[in-house]
Amino acid sequence: MDFPNSICYLNGEWLPLAQAKVSVLDRGFIFGDGIYEVVPVYYRQPFRFEQHLARFERSAREIGLANPLDRAGWRAVVDGLVSRLGEEHQFVYWQVTRGVAKRDFAFPPHATPTVFAMTSAFVRPSREQREGGLAAVTRADERWLRCDIKSVSLLGAVLARQYAAEQGADEVVQFRDGFLTEGSSSNVWAVRGGTVIAPPRDRLILEGIRYGLITELCAKLGIPFEARRLSQAEVAGADELMLTSATREVLPIVRLDGQPVGSGRPGPVYAKLRAGYDQAIEALRR
Ligand code: PDD
């Protein structure tokens, strides 16, 4: 396989990605026993870094894993990667697993967590995606009941995204017991009668760092926001649908299961939030 020619961080060392090696007994490899973060970097500065750190700390607590680095330590890892790659916009990925141990489901008493981080050049969503929008398909949410933890156990997300890919769609919009949860790797938003509506922040969705950002932008721009359960019929009949994630920022969903969403074009609420998002990014430019 072709590795990007970049430097990564593995257990305290900086080395080319192609040379980074982890034991086959790593619990990340064996059990998916670990957690991760994806942080967008604009103008070489991590965007909403404190919020990403806070979410990572929470994920660590929820799975009983001692966070191996403090906030200054994580900052040094991220800054180290960003300056080594040098690109203006990047996205940093990091993960921590419970370490290398004999295969046994219960936590190993003495394993040292495996700490890995890498960065890539961030190709921001294209003009076509921003102005033309995305296609999504609906699907029953078959993931586990702790989607609030940003876990590297991602088989449910992989199968969901593959389902979308096989239908030529960009993302799935998942429903549990008939109510909206989220995409395979994004939060999903509906607009009805001028109000932005998203599922509540509970254990059935990952609270995206952009979840907080969108609610802040709504408050700032005077757009009403509601967190509540949304039925599949309400989503299908929404005026606008959007998704958010670190790598997709905020994008409109203009087709759902082959049908147009609202007018079938990116809507006015999306346009305002998009502009607000871009403004927040531009504030990082020095
Ligand atoms: N995924 N929900 C799920 C299930 C996700 O995996 C993600 C992000 C989000 C959005 O969170 P944020 O706004 O913090 O990116 C919601 C990342 C991008 C990934 O796994 O690559």
User: For the segment 112-170, what is each residue's pLDDT rounded down to a tens digit?
Assistant: 999 999 999 999 999 999 999 999 999 999 999 999 999 999 999 999 999 999 999 99
188 lines ligand 1 (CB under 6 A): no
pLDDT tens profile 78-122: 999 999 999 999 999 999 999 999 999 999 999 999 999 999 999
Catalytic pick from 21, 102, 150, 220? 150
Q: What angle do CA 63, 73, 118 make, to 5 degrees?
A: 75
CA-52 nearest atom, ligand 1:
14
Class of domain 7-121: alpha beta
The answer to whether 236 touches 256, Cβ cutoff 8 Å, is yes
The amino acid occupying position 173 is V
- Distance, C-alpha 142 to centroid of its chain: 18
Q: Which residues pair with 99 in a beta bridge?
A: none
Nearest CA to ligand 1 atom 16: 186
Q: Tell me which of 36, 38, 154, 184 to substitute to probe ligand 1's pocket, judged by most ligand atoms within 8 Å of the beta carbon.
A: 38
Q: Is 254 helix (H, G, I), strand (E, B) or coil?
A: strand
209 lines ligand 1 (CB under 6 A): yes
- CA-CA distance, 108 to 111, in Å (whole number)? 6
To which H or E segment does residue 57 belong?
helix 49-62
Report how far ligand 1's centroid is from the alpha carbon of 6 (Å).
Answer: 23
Detail the DSSP E strand segments found in the chain: 7-10, 13-16, 34-42, 45-46, 90-97, 114-121, 134-140, 171-176, 179-180, 187-192, 195-198, 225-227, 240-245, 249-256, 259-260
Number of helices followed by number of strands (H, E) in the chain: 8, 15
Q: Looking at the predicted structure, is the pLDDT value of residue 5 above 90?
A: no
Nearest CA to ligand 1 atom 3: 185
CA-187 nearest atom, ligand 1:
16
Closest listed residue to residue 234, CA positions, set 176, 191, 185: 191
CA-246 nearest atom, ligand 1:
15
CATH number of the 127-282 domain: 3.20.10.10
- CA-CA distance, 257 to 118, in Å (whole number)? 35
Answer yes or no: pTM beyond 0.75.
Answer: yes
208 lines ligand 1 (CB under 6 A): yes
Task: Based on the residue annotation, tell me whether 21 is a catalytic residue of this protein.
Answer: no
pLDDT tens profile 18-63: 999 999 999 999 999 999 999 999 999 999 999 999 999 999 999 9
246 lines ligand 1 (CB under 6 A): yes
Closest listed residue to residue 77, CA positions, set 58, 56, 62, 60: 56
**Domain locations in the chain as residue ranges:** 7-121, 127-282
Please give the pLDDT value at position 109.
94
Report how far ligand 1's centroid is from the alpha carbon of 261 (Å).
Answer: 23
The amino acid occupying position 244 is T
- CA-CA distance, 9 to 199, in Å (whole number)? 36
Report how far ligand 1's centroid is from the alpha carbon of 10 (Å).
Answer: 23
